Structure 1
Amino acid sequence: METTRSFSQDINDEYQKFIRRMNPPRVVIDNETCKNATVIQVDSANKHGILLEVVQVLTDLNLIITKAYISSDGGWFMDVFNVTDQNGSKITDEEVLDYIQKSLGPDSCFTSSVRRSVGVKPSMDHTSIELVGCDRPGLLSEVSAVLTHLKCNVVNGEVWTHNTRAAAVMQVTDEETGGAITNPERLSVIKKLLCNVLKGSNKSREAANTVVSHGITHTERRLHQMMFADRDYERPCDKASGEKQKPDVSVVNWYDRDYSVVTIRSKDRPKLLFDTICTLTDMDYVVFHGNVDAEGPEAHQEYCIRHIDGEPVKSDAERQRLIQCLGAAIERRVSEGLKLELCTTDRVGLLSDVTRIFRENSLTVTRAEVTTRSGKAVNSFYVRDASGYPVDAKIIDSIRQAIGQTILQVKGSPEDMNQVPQESPTRFLFGGLFKSRSFCNFGLVKSYS
């Protein structure tokens, strides 16, 4: 059975390559037509997933998509995007423009994957570890402590939490060699211990499912797939988080054309289009037409879709599930809490030490991004008080003084902090804590700009 599926996939891949050679994609970048945005038009032979691949290239460059027009009826695909940089300006950097041409044009080679397995994947430079389980305060601290104990250094990673669930994709290296961890026995120990951490005291459902996998996929897309597979779109019965603003999603059938029309209204934010297109693609829906307008504070998206089998949405149950999944895809990246950015010299155990301090001071991490650039750790954390109260400004100030004002910076809104808090008995722990662990010797208080 597996051999037949593999052979079928190989034939399909060769057919797609042939179609691509006969109809190479065309990319037109126009900085003249629109007054306040760069217009990017992509024409190509159509295939399932190509829209996501194009959007992924643009969002990975941190470009802001303010408008989009999508059309993929028949065998041809055409997209038009209005994009700006993070400052709202046109794209004029020649290296960026050249990268877009090469990534989307005739010489590009899309390598999308819908791999759905979860586990540890060895590679040449690092080992990728994927985790999914029940969220709880201190979870990231516990996971990073286990990795440090196992002599693994987290060089890159991303953590999402949503609706009581948590998912993470981490790239780790061996402390001694600085390379990937390939020993099967050691990988088995890593998986076993991390699975034990993820299970915790959860008894309602399986906390984690870990297997060895071999494909390569996009980190943020993988996080969407993992949380979707973990059914994070199913809301808790108590609906304790129901006070925050929810996206407005509707699905109706257009019977004259055999389409289902999806309409989404939500607060705009970076990568919103990627999140919705990613979910539609991984749920096996095809976007035939679409319009996106995100020039104001609210984004409006409208898509004409069919299931990959050619049918529109067939039942009310399918409609409700699609609405739930799109809402969850939008909410996963909405970061609750105060944003803290840490920049310093990278070292083994850095993530463990920082997150342990958060945990010991009743801060829980709702989202995290960990990156290493030329030996420097550049980490972002979204934190909130584990009890649900505003973050204690004095605790944050104590953390920053101990670590270094230029190393840990507050990036969130002052509204996320309690500016006149009660005295916290834990705020005095930091002086002795940092001295006892000799953080200065690790370069944690060294200025970085």
Structure 2
Amino acid sequence: MDFWSSSVSTDNELEKFVIRMNPPKVTIDNASSRKATLVKVDSANKRGSLLEVVQVLTDLDLLIRRAYVSSDGEWFMDVFHVTDKNGNKVMEENIAERIQLSLGPRTYSFRARNRSVGVQGASEKSTSIEITGRDRPGLLSDVFAVLADNNCNVVAAEVWTHNSRMASVVYITDETTGSAIEDPTRISKIKQLLLYVLEGNRDKRIANTAVLMGSTHKERRLHQMMYDNRDYDVAYTDDRSTSERRKPIVTVENCTDKAYTVANLRCSDRPKLFFDAVCTLTDMQYVVYHATVIAEGPEAYQEYYIRHVDGGPVSSEAERQRLIHCLEAAIKRRISEGIRLELCGEDRVGLLSDVTRIFRENGLSVTRAEVTTRGSQAVNTFYVTDSSGNPVKRTAIETVRNEIGRAILRVKDEGLSESRGGGGDETGKFFSLSNLFKSRSEKFLYNLGLIKSYS
């Protein structure tokens, strides 16, 4: 065992021991606030604790309206104001238990990221394929066609596109057995065929593909895959479809007296925004020591006090700019541009190949997709633009619906799905949450016993 592996192993064992001696405490409070449920988390601090809690809350389909994070030293104490999707308080009894379990000792180790196409066993019933590459019209159609031609049934998938990149996690089963595909020869063939599809573009700078072996949270992986494929690279950014009104504002400044870097985010609010920002900070090897999140209106405001894992703040202008671009990408990569189409019907092998082929033949380009299977039913969502990224004409949508079936393909939401919010003067200096909410949030934290005093 080399020195690095030995050090990681020792750190993991020490971390597990500390957590066993100081198990996390999760409290659910439905009395303190009229509008939201308060989730309070006290635990021994470990790297990634904040991401794990936010990930659990997100997976429970809870909306985080406010958050106050404090994790200096060996302990972290966080308070989240959450509601369900309808804006109501949360009454389920198992939320505290699920969060508490998520904060237990880690059962995985750090893994290197390899740049290749790969296939991994996601569960006993399916095999997951992770793909990244340069986006182009018809790419998704080609991917699904390869899988259909090789007798693979797609039971679930999620596809993101941003800044000419594409990342996708696809779960497949064998057409005959309905189980995961384990034959290494067949897997190798599928990998090679997908490589041919992904390397069809001549631009080798961003035509790479990537995979991370092992089970990982799907949306977490999509962020990692996009980040690895440098979708934040401003040299190739294309913001034609993002209006100035909706453009996120991100500032990064050093707080020299406390040796922190302060990152401020302001943008239109949407579900999972907090999760997306914390994912990116974690992937970039930053630790969040304090944070305030306010998302009670059409806009969201987030402020993070961070340091690099080596303990230092942002040390150069180049690093500062890179952090800004990466946070902007984290905000924008989940925004769904285009018209939202929902397909609900009987599932079958080749369904996605046929549907995306019809999209392609009618000049539609998929910017994002969510594919699920419920029993024998396919429940799929597609966001589409024309091949140039512009809004799709009504005639093209009607043609596609006629070919696929008007009863199973419906237009659910036209235009930009993240169009709410905006307004205000976004051209001036970014306001500081520490000024706007300082007295209110510090008093709140003091009342909860999370800080010793407030001014």
State the TM-score, normalizing by the size of structure 1: 0.87
Write out per-residue CA displacement over residues 170-217 of structure 1, whole angstroms, 9 at most, x where no aligned residue. Answer: 111111111111111111111111011011132342523356x54211
The equivalent residue for 1:345 is: 346
Question: Are 1:379 and 2:380 an aligned pair?
Answer: yes
Asked whether the 8 Å contact 1:114–1:282 carries over to 2, the reply is no
Asked whether the 8 Å contact 2:165–2:231 carries over to 1, the reply is yes
* Cα distance change on mapping 1:243 and 1:269 into 2, 3 Å: closer
Which amino acid letter does the alignment assign opposite residue 134 of structure 1? R
Distance 1:398 1:136 in 2: 22
Distance 1:342 1:243 in 2: 26
* Cα distance change on mapping 1:406 and 1:80 into 2, 3 Å: farther
The equivalent residue for 2:193 is: 193
Which amino acid letter does the alignment assign opposite residue 150 of structure 1? N
How many pairs align?
A: 411
The equivalent residue for 1:22 is: 21
Alignment of 1:206-285 (within 5 A): 207-210=207-210, 214-236=213-235, 239=238, 241=240, 244=243, 245-285=246-286
The equivalent residue for 1:298 is: 299
The equivalent residue for 2:99 is: 103
The equivalent residue for 1:370 is: 371
The equivalent residue for 2:172 is: 172
Asked whether the 8 Å contact 2:251–2:265 carries over to 1, the reply is yes
Alignment of 1:424-443 (within 5 A): none
Asked whether the 8 Å contact 1:63–1:85 carries over to 2, the reply is yes
Q: How far does residue 277 in structure 1 lie from its aligned partner after superposition?
A: 0.2
The equivalent residue for 1:432 is: none
Write out per-residue CA displacement over residues 105-133 of structure 1, whole angstroms, 9 at most, x where no aligned residue. Answer: 59855557764345211342211111111
Distance 2:287 2:108 in 1: 15
Asked whether the 8 Å contact 2:62–2:82 carries over to 1, the reply is yes
The equivalent residue for 1:12 is: 11
Q: How far does residue 100 in structure 1 lie from its aligned partner after superposition?
A: 4.0
Task: Mark the runs of 5 or more structure 2 residues left unpaired by the alignment.
Answer: 418-455
Alignment of 1:397-412 (within 5 A): 397-412=398-413
Asked whether the 8 Å contact 1:120–1:210 carries over to 2, the reply is no
Q: How far does residue 168 in structure 1 lie from its aligned partner after superposition?
A: 0.6
Distance 2:384 2:97 in 1: 38
Which amino acid letter does the alignment assign opposite residue 136 of structure 1? R
Task: Mark the runs of 5 or more structure 1 residues left unpaired by the alignment.
Answer: 417-449
Q: How far does residue 12 in structure 1 lie from its aligned partner after superposition?
A: 2.1
Write out per-residue CA displacement over residues 128-178 of structure 1, whole angstroms, 9 at most, x where no aligned residue. Answer: 111111100111001000010011111111110000111111111111111
Alignment of 1:45-56 (within 5 A): 45-56=44-55
Equivalent residue of 1:185, what SS?
helix
The equivalent residue for 1:136 is: 136
Identity level (%): 57
Question: Are 1:126 and 2:122 an aligned pair?
Answer: no
Equivalent residue of 1:411, what SS?
strand
The equivalent residue for 1:393 is: 394
Which amino acid letter does the alignment assign opposite residue 296 of structure 2? E
Asked whether the 8 Å contact 1:159–1:169 carries over to 2, the reply is yes
Asked whether the 8 Å contact 1:134–1:202 carries over to 2, the reply is no
Equivalent residue of 1:231, what SS?
coil
Which amino acid letter does the alignment assign opposite residue 371 of structure 1? T
Deviation larger for 168-177 or 229-238 = 229-238
Distance 2:305 2:108 in 1: 23
Asked whether the 8 Å contact 1:148–1:349 carries over to 2, the reply is yes
Q: How far does residue 5 in structure 1 lie from its aligned partner after superposition?
A: 3.4
Equivalent residue of 1:168, what SS?
strand
Equivalent residue of 1:391, what SS?
coil
The equivalent residue for 2:428 is: none
Which amino acid letter does the alignment assign opposite residue 31 of structure 1? N
State the TM-score, normalizing by the size of structure 2: 0.86
The equivalent residue for 1:91 is: 90
